[in-house]
Structure formats: structure tokens, C-alpha cells
Amino acid sequence: MGIADLHQNPVTFQIGDDPDNDRVLTANFSPSDLRYTVTAIVEPSGGGSMKFSDPQPASGYAVNESISVMAVPQAGYVFSRWMGDLAGNENPRTLLVSEDKSITAVFNPTVTTYCSPSEAGSIAVEPQSANGYAAGTEVTISAKANKGYRFVSWEGDASGSDRSITITVDEAKTITARFAEQSSSRWWLWVMLGLAGLFGVLILVRLVYARMNRGWTDEPPEPDN
């Protein structure tokens, strides 16, 4: 056919002037040896991890291989969005490895609150967010005591005794509001004070009554003749 090197691409060959001298040219393809890698980044580093449907081989993925990738948050974090060669917040996602890829999974920290004891009160977090908070967000946390309890202090990732505080969410936060019983202790205190006061009044009345009675029964001494 006039092709000197059958592996050459592209090639040039002579067809000729004879219209009956048809030529058939066949291109043969073999699997490519090219391999591509996927770089996986997690922000923040402790916020979670990524799970691939096909673990990446040491040599990389074959050209145009399609894989599924899922973002898996750690405790205290929620998945937020993709960055790099993936976008949006759909999870999991499908990635076509047509070249070297770099993908980033962004996780947001959350604020978890508890009351101790659990029935003693409630905690309000403003602003509220089911999707966590971007690093550096300031939130206000307020404690409200139920009847019969009083707020004592904050514990965990917050401190102090102010019922309303503001914190910066730079990582996952766990905060506990400590309450103490109020009604029973004060009831006994007032009862004890009342009994003590009543006992004092009774003693005073008895002393006054005894003094007056003594004055009525004592007769003055008779004068000397």
C-alpha cells in the first residue's frame, strides 16, 4: 500500500490513478497505557474523609474511567460542598477521570448542646443551622432554666456563668449548660427561718408575761413602826 511505517500516525500513501484500484485502510487501536491520578483533599483535615467506589491503584486510573466518590463527615461535622474538579453539594458524586483530577470535600463544624440535668432547662443557638457553620462564624448561646431550677454555668467548649454567651465556631463544639435545683432548698430555708422566728416570738412573749405576772403578785413591804 506504500506505507513504509505501519505504526506511524498520521500516514501518507499513494492511491493511484486507476479507479478500479480500490484501497482499504484499517486503523488498529490498542488499550492506552496512560493513567491518571485523583488527589483528594479534606477541609478541615479532621472534618471527614472521602470514600471511592474503586480505590485508586498505585498506577492511577485508566483514561476516562468513571468512579463514584462520597464525602463522609466525622462526628461534630457535616458535609458542606465540593471544590476543585467537582462542584455543588450533591453527595455522592460521579467523577470522570479524563485527566489528573484534584477534588476537595469541605466540612462544616457543628455546635452540640446539652443540659445537665436534661430536664432542668433548654438552650437556644442563634443563628441556627442544620448544615453546620463556616469556620469563624460567631453564634450566640442562651440557657433558660425550667421552673424549680436555676442556671449555674457553662461546661465543655464554653465557660462562665452568664446565661447568654457568644462563641466563635472554628471547630466542632460541644457545650453543656449546668443547672441546679432551686425550689426545694429555698422552701426548707424559709420554713426553718419561719420556725426560728416563731420560736423567738414565743420566748419573748413568755418572758414578758412572766415579768408582768411577777409584778402583779408581789406586794410592797410593810413600813417599819
24 has pLDDT over 90: no
pTM of the model: 0.66
Q: Which of 193-197's residues contact partners 24+ apart within 8 Å by CB, and which partners?
A: none
DSSP helix/strand/coil, 208:
helix
- Across the range 137-160, mean pLDDT stands at 96
| Cell digits of residue 217 | 403578785
Cα–Cα distance for residue pair 85/104, rounded to 1 Å: 8
Output 158 or 194, whichever has higher pLDDT. Answer: 158
Burial of 48: CB neighbours in 10 Å, binned 0-12, 13-18, 19+:
buried
Cα–Cα distance for residue pair 184/97, rounded to 1 Å: 68
Strands (E), 53-127: 61-62, 65-73, 77-84, 93-97, 101-109, 111-116, 121-126
Output 18 or 139, whichever has higher pLDDT. Answer: 139
Q: What is the pLDDT of residues 86-145, one digit of tens each?
A: 999 999 999 999 999 999 999 999 999 999 999 999 999 999 998 999 989 999 999 999
- Angle at the Cα of 141 (from 172 to 78), degrees rounded to 5? 30
Residue 190 has what pLDDT? Answer: 67
Strand pairing report for 38-43 and 101-109:
parallel
Q: What is the pLDDT of residues 42-88, one digit of tens each?
A: 999 999 999 999 999 989 999 999 999 999 999 999 999 999 999 99
Residue 182 has what pLDDT? Answer: 83
Closest C-alpha to 44, from 86, 76, 90: 76
Phi, psi for 62 (deg, rounded to 5): -70, 160
17 has pLDDT over 70: no
| Cell digits of residue 216 | 402583779
Residue 28 has what pLDDT? Answer: 67
User: Which residues 6+ apart lie within 8 Å of 106 measured at CB?
Assistant: 43, 47, 79, 80, 81, 82, 83
pLDDT-derived band at 220 (thresholds 50, 70, 90) equals low
Q: What is the pLDDT of residues 177-208, one digit of tens each?
A: 999 998 655 556 666 777 887 777 788 777 77
Contact criterion met (CB below 8 Å) for 50 and 42: yes
